[in-house]
């Protein structure tokens, strides 16, 4: 097993059989070795710096029905909200005071925010904060819409592919198209965004073969960022009674992603911190190098409920920032407050 891990460390690639063998048969001792190799790789590329992104959850309306997600259209119990341009700008001002250099605008697929509205939001943020990066995470749009947002100043786009298995994708996403999701990612790359793909771990029905497909898809796409986290059930979804993903599996996959894509920006996600109080710290030690604290206004925190038990819904932005800094330092890393673009990226 060490031989395979060393090969991955050196070549940043394993074929299907090697990778499946590794995921199927990894022991606790091998895991520790894999994690140490991943950590070494992160240190070589990014040193011990951890980048912060301020997350703004600006709408929980969604037209889709992803079976795992608490804000799916069919969930009539979700208490829906939208933030106005002014509210979003207020949040950015607060974030700027706390030294955030990236604002991530995330939401459901909400047609209330037309392209013109999204463009206005991007332009206003960029006008007030020209040095800051704007990241969008608002789902599948046409090439032209993505292009408009990019031309308005958006720098990055997060769109998890969710799973590289078409079969599993179709089970999880009624009336959506796997091909379209993948095409969106290639379009975003073509336009010039820093692109983030990613997937969940421990979704009902997901197998180790599926993770092999995910890693090979990521290797082919070469995204600048990868977001992964455990699946966590939400009580008002069809997956309410299913098991959650585990920290152990998520950590192994974080380490594998770091070794497949050495210079990727890789968050230790809120979902990972939700299933284990030290989940994010464990993620950082296994190759993650980004944390995305919540900047959303207090009054909407509980409502942006993708899964049950989400942490930090009761902490003011300033507290979140302090808490996260402490966690990063105690885990042996240092907080980095620059924009944190991927080292290979330049705006075209
Ligand atoms: N509408 C946007 C943003 C989705 S929310 C989009 O389509 O990209 C961001 C991510 O949260 C999703 O991509 C999904 O991977 C994750 N997520 C949703 N429900 C979840 C759950 N129950 N457990 C863990 N992660 C979940």
pLDDT tier, 348 (very low <50, low <70, confident <90, very high otherwise) = confident
Task: With respect to residue 234, please indicate whether it lies within any of the assigned structural domains.
Answer: yes
Separation of CA 220 and ligand 1 centre (Å): 22
Task: With respect to residue 28, please indicate whether it lies within any of the assigned structural domains.
Answer: no
Phi, psi angles (nearest 5°) of residue 115: -55, -40
- Best of 56, 60, 69 for a ligand 1 pocket test (most atoms within 8 Å of beta carbon): 69
DSSP summary character for residue 267: B
pLDDT of residue 329: 98
Separation of CA 10 and ligand 1 centre (Å): 33
Q: Which atom of ligand 1 is nearest to the CA of 227?
A: 15
Residues 143-172: what's their mean pLDDT?
A: 98
The answer on pLDDT for 86 being more than 90 is yes
Q: Which atom of ligand 1 is nearest to the CA of 68?
A: 22
- The answer to whether the beta carbons of residues 119 and 152 sit under 8 Å apart is yes
Task: With respect to residue 2, please indicate whether it lies within any of the assigned structural domains.
Answer: no
pLDDT tier, 315 (very low <50, low <70, confident <90, very high otherwise) = confident
**How many Cα atoms occupy the beta-carbon half-sphere of 162 within 13 Å?**
24
Question: What CATH number did the domain enclosing 264 receive?
Answer: 3.20.20.70
DSSP summary character for residue 237: S
- Best of 149, 200, 236, 273 for a ligand 1 pocket test (most atoms within 8 Å of beta carbon): 200
Per-residue model confidence as pLDDT tens digits over 18-56 = 999 999 999 999 999 999 999 999 999 999 999 999 999
The answer on pLDDT for 187 being more than 90 is yes
Farthest-apart Cα atoms in the chain, separation: 56
Rounded Cα distance between 50 and 247, Å, is 20
Structure tokens at 51: 């980048």
Residues 117-143: what's their mean pLDDT?
A: 98
Give SS3 for 56.
Answer: strand
Task: With respect to residue 80, please indicate whether it lies within any of the assigned structural domains.
Answer: yes
Beta strands in the chain (DSSP E): 49-52, 54-59, 102-107, 133-137, 156-158, 194-201, 225-230, 290-291, 334-336
Task: With respect to residue 26, please indicate whether it lies within any of the assigned structural domains.
Answer: no
- Structural domain of residue 50, as residue ranges? 42-336
For residue 104, the cross-strand partners are 55, 135
The answer on pLDDT for 344 being more than 90 is no
Q: Which atom of ligand 1 is nearest to the CA of 233?
A: 22
Rounded Cα distance between 56 and 146, Å, is 19
Task: With respect to residue 23, please indicate whether it lies within any of the assigned structural domains.
Answer: no
Residue 192 class from Cβ within 10 Å (0-12 exposed, 13-18 middle, 19+ buried)?
middle
Task: With respect to residue 31, please indicate whether it lies within any of the assigned structural domains.
Answer: no
**How many Cα atoms occupy the beta-carbon half-sphere of 286 within 13 Å?**
27
Separation of CA 306 and ligand 1 centre (Å): 7
Whose alpha carbon is nearest atom 6 of ligand 1?
A: 139
Residues 148-167: what's their mean pLDDT?
A: 98
The overall average pLDDT reported for the chain is 97
Residue 185 class from Cβ within 10 Å (0-12 exposed, 13-18 middle, 19+ buried)?
buried
Residues 304-331: what's their mean pLDDT?
A: 94
pLDDT tier, 311 (very low <50, low <70, confident <90, very high otherwise) = very high
Give SS3 for 344.
Answer: coil
Whose alpha carbon is nearest atom 22 of ligand 1?
A: 307
pLDDT tier, 238 (very low <50, low <70, confident <90, very high otherwise) = very high
Rounded Cα distance between 212 and 138, Å, is 27
The answer on pLDDT for 343 being more than 90 is no
Rounded Cα distance between 103 and 135, Å, is 6
Structure tokens at 1: 């097993």
Per-residue model confidence as pLDDT tens digits over 270-310 = 999 999 999 999 999 999 999 999 999 999 999 999 999 99
Separation of CA 233 and ligand 1 centre (Å): 12
- Best of 65, 68, 185, 225 for a ligand 1 pocket test (most atoms within 8 Å of beta carbon): 68
Distances (CA, A) of 252 to 28, 105, 120: 10, 28, 41
Q: What percent of the chain has pLDDT over 90?
A: 98
Counting the structural domains of the chain, the total is 1
Task: With respect to residue 347, please indicate whether it lies within any of the assigned structural domains.
Answer: no
Query: How, if at all, do strands 156-158 and 133-137 pair?
Result: parallel
């Amino acid at each position: 097993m060490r031989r395979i891990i060393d090969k991955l460390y050196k070549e940043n690639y394993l074929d299907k059989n090697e990778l499946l063998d590794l995921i199927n048969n990894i022991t606790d001792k091998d895991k520790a070795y894999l994690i140490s190799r991943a950590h070494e790789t992160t240190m070589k590329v990014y040193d011990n710096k951890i980048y912060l992104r301020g997350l703004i959850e600006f709408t929980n309306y969604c037209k889709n029905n992803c079976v795992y997600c608490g804000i799916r259209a069919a969930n009539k119990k979700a208490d829906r909200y939208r933030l106005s341009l002014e509210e979003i700008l207020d949040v950015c001002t607060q974030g700027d005071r706390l030294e955030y250099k990236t604002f991530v605008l995330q939401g459901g697929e909400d047609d209330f925010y037309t392209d013109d509205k999204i463009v206005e939001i991007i332009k206003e943020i960029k006008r007030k904060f020209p040095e800051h990066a704007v990241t969008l995470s608002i789902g599948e749009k046409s090439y032209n819409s993505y292009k408009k947002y990019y031309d308005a100043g958006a720098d990055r786009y997060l769109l998890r592919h969710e799973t590289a298995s078409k079969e599993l994708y179709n089970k999880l996403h009624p009336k959506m198209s796997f091909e379209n999701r993948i095409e969106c990612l290639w379009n975003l790359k073509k336009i010039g965004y820093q692109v983030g793909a990613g997937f969940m771990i421990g979704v009902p029905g997901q197998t180790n073969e599926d993770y092999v497909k995910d890693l090979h898809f990521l290797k082919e796409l070469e995204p600048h960022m990868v977001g992964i986290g455990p699946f966590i059930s939400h009580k008002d979804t069809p997956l309410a009674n299913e098991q959650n993903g585990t920290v152990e599996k998520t950590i192994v996959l974080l380490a594998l992603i770091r070794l497949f894509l050495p210079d990727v920006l890789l968050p230790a996600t809120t979902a990972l911190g939700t299933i284990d109080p030290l989940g994010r710290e464990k993620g950082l030690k296994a190759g993650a190098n980004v944390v995305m604290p919540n900047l959303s206004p207090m009054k909407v925190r509980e409502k942006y409920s993708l899964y049950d038990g989400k942490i930090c819904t009761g902490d003011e932005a300033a507290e979140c920032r302090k808490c996260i800094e402490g966690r990063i330092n105690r885990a042996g890393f240092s907080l980095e407050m620059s924009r944190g673009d991927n080292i290979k990226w330049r705006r075209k």
